[in-house]
Amino acid sequence: MKKLFFILVLGVLAFAGCQTTTPRKNQVQNIEHKNIALNDEQVLSKAIIKGAIRRKWEITESAQGIIKAELNIRSHWVKVEILYGKDYYAILYNDSKNLGYKEKSQTIHPNYNRWIKYLERSINTAIAESL
Protein backbone atom coordinates (compact mmCIF):
# COMPACT_ATOMS: atom_id res chain seq x y z
CA MET A 1 0.00 0.00 0.00
CA LYS A 2 2.85 2.38 0.86
CA LYS A 3 4.45 1.54 -2.48
CA LEU A 4 1.26 2.44 -4.38
CA PHE A 5 0.93 5.71 -2.44
CA PHE A 6 4.56 6.57 -3.16
CA ILE A 7 4.07 5.88 -6.90
CA LEU A 8 0.93 8.07 -6.98
CA VAL A 9 2.69 10.96 -5.21
CA LEU A 10 5.66 10.63 -7.54
CA GLY A 11 3.33 10.65 -10.56
CA VAL A 12 1.51 13.76 -9.37
CA LEU A 13 4.78 15.59 -8.75
CA ALA A 14 6.12 14.59 -12.16
CA PHE A 15 2.92 15.78 -13.85
CA ALA A 16 2.99 19.09 -11.95
CA GLY A 17 6.57 19.63 -13.07
CA CYS A 18 5.51 19.44 -16.71
CA GLN A 19 3.62 22.74 -16.62
CA THR A 20 4.88 25.40 -18.94
CA THR A 21 6.19 28.71 -17.65
CA THR A 22 5.09 30.52 -20.81
CA PRO A 23 2.29 32.97 -19.95
CA ARG A 24 -1.13 32.29 -21.38
CA LYS A 25 -2.28 34.51 -24.21
CA ASN A 26 -5.61 36.26 -24.41
CA GLN A 27 -7.39 38.14 -27.16
CA VAL A 28 -6.75 41.88 -26.95
CA GLN A 29 -9.82 43.50 -25.42
CA ASN A 30 -10.96 46.91 -26.61
CA ILE A 31 -13.59 48.54 -24.44
CA GLU A 32 -16.42 50.80 -25.56
CA HIS A 33 -19.04 52.65 -23.53
CA LYS A 34 -21.97 54.44 -25.18
CA ASN A 35 -24.80 56.65 -23.93
CA ILE A 36 -22.85 58.14 -21.03
CA ALA A 37 -25.10 60.48 -19.06
CA LEU A 38 -22.59 63.35 -18.92
CA ASN A 39 -23.28 64.70 -22.43
CA ASP A 40 -20.32 67.06 -22.00
CA GLU A 41 -17.09 66.34 -23.84
CA GLN A 42 -14.87 68.51 -21.61
CA VAL A 43 -16.18 66.96 -18.39
CA LEU A 44 -15.78 63.48 -19.88
CA SER A 45 -12.20 64.25 -20.95
CA LYS A 46 -11.33 65.39 -17.42
CA ALA A 47 -12.96 62.26 -15.93
CA ILE A 48 -10.99 59.99 -18.28
CA ILE A 49 -7.71 61.71 -17.38
CA LYS A 50 -8.56 61.62 -13.66
CA GLY A 51 -9.41 57.90 -13.84
CA ALA A 52 -6.24 57.08 -15.77
CA ILE A 53 -3.98 58.99 -13.39
CA ARG A 54 -5.55 57.23 -10.40
CA ARG A 55 -4.40 53.94 -11.92
CA LYS A 56 -0.86 55.29 -12.52
CA TRP A 57 -1.32 55.71 -16.29
CA GLU A 58 0.69 58.56 -17.77
CA ILE A 59 -1.16 60.84 -20.18
CA THR A 60 1.23 61.33 -23.12
CA GLU A 61 -1.01 63.25 -25.53
CA SER A 62 -4.38 64.88 -25.34
CA ALA A 63 -6.33 66.43 -28.17
CA GLN A 64 -9.97 66.95 -29.04
CA GLY A 65 -11.57 63.50 -28.96
CA ILE A 66 -8.43 61.45 -28.21
CA ILE A 67 -6.26 60.79 -25.19
CA LYS A 68 -3.11 58.65 -25.37
CA ALA A 69 -2.00 56.97 -22.17
CA GLU A 70 0.92 54.73 -21.20
CA LEU A 71 1.51 52.33 -18.34
CA ASN A 72 4.93 51.08 -17.20
CA ILE A 73 5.03 48.14 -14.82
CA ARG A 74 8.47 46.64 -14.22
CA SER A 75 9.71 45.63 -17.69
CA HIS A 76 6.23 45.85 -19.28
CA TRP A 77 4.96 48.87 -21.19
CA VAL A 78 1.62 49.44 -22.87
CA LYS A 79 0.10 52.36 -24.77
CA VAL A 80 -3.61 52.87 -25.42
CA GLU A 81 -5.73 55.42 -27.23
CA ILE A 82 -8.88 56.56 -25.50
CA LEU A 83 -11.33 57.97 -28.01
CA TYR A 84 -14.25 59.98 -26.66
CA GLY A 85 -17.17 62.16 -27.63
CA LYS A 86 -19.91 63.88 -25.67
CA ASP A 87 -21.59 60.60 -24.66
CA TYR A 88 -19.12 57.75 -25.31
CA TYR A 89 -15.56 56.58 -24.82
CA ALA A 90 -13.49 53.66 -26.10
CA ILE A 91 -10.16 52.25 -24.91
CA LEU A 92 -8.16 50.84 -27.83
CA TYR A 93 -4.85 48.94 -27.86
CA ASN A 94 -2.05 50.92 -29.52
CA ASP A 95 1.35 49.39 -28.68
CA SER A 96 3.25 47.36 -26.07
CA LYS A 97 6.60 45.88 -25.06
CA ASN A 98 7.32 42.62 -23.24
CA LEU A 99 3.68 41.53 -23.37
CA GLY A 100 4.03 39.10 -26.28
CA TYR A 101 1.55 40.88 -28.56
CA LYS A 102 0.88 38.96 -31.77
CA GLU A 103 -0.73 41.14 -34.44
CA LYS A 104 -1.93 38.27 -36.63
CA SER A 105 -3.85 36.50 -33.86
CA GLN A 106 -4.54 39.68 -31.82
CA THR A 107 -3.31 37.95 -28.66
CA ILE A 108 -1.43 39.42 -25.71
CA HIS A 109 -0.35 38.56 -22.17
CA PRO A 110 -3.39 38.33 -19.84
CA ASN A 111 -2.08 41.18 -17.67
CA TYR A 112 -2.93 43.64 -20.46
CA ASN A 113 -6.64 42.85 -20.27
CA ARG A 114 -6.55 43.04 -16.47
CA TRP A 115 -4.89 46.49 -16.59
CA ILE A 116 -7.47 47.69 -19.12
CA LYS A 117 -10.34 46.46 -16.92
CA TYR A 118 -8.86 48.36 -13.95
CA LEU A 119 -8.52 51.47 -16.15
CA GLU A 120 -12.14 51.13 -17.28
CA ARG A 121 -13.39 50.84 -13.69
CA SER A 122 -11.36 53.85 -12.62
CA ILE A 123 -12.68 55.94 -15.52
CA ASN A 124 -16.27 54.88 -14.76
CA THR A 125 -15.80 55.85 -11.11
CA ALA A 126 -14.47 59.28 -12.15
CA ILE A 127 -17.46 59.71 -14.51
CA ALA A 128 -19.89 58.81 -11.71
CA GLU A 129 -18.20 61.38 -9.45
CA SER A 130 -18.70 64.02 -12.17
CA LEU A 131 -22.48 63.54 -12.35
Q: For 104-128, write each residue's pLDDT tens digit.
A: 999 999 999 999 999 999 999 999 9
pLDDT band at 1 (very low <50, low <70, confident <90, very high): low
- Which segments of the chain does DSSP mark as H helices, in order? 2-16, 41-54, 110-130
Query: Cα separation of 68 and 55, whole Å?
Result: 14
Stretch 86-113: mean pLDDT: 95
Which contiguous run of DSSP H or E holds residue 108?
Answer: strand 107-108
pLDDT score at 97: 96
**What HEC string does 80-93 produce?**
EEEEEECCEEEEEE
Which contiguous run of DSSP H or E holds residue 18?
Answer: none
Q: What is the pTM of this model?
A: 0.78
Nearest to 82 by CA among 94, 71, 100: 94
pLDDT band at 37 (very low <50, low <70, confident <90, very high): confident
At the topology level of CATH, where does 25-130 sit?
Answer: TATA-Binding Protein (3.30.310)
Residues 6+ apart with CB under 8 A from 24: 109, 110
**Percentage of the chain surpassing pLDDT 90?**
69
88 residue type, one letter: Y
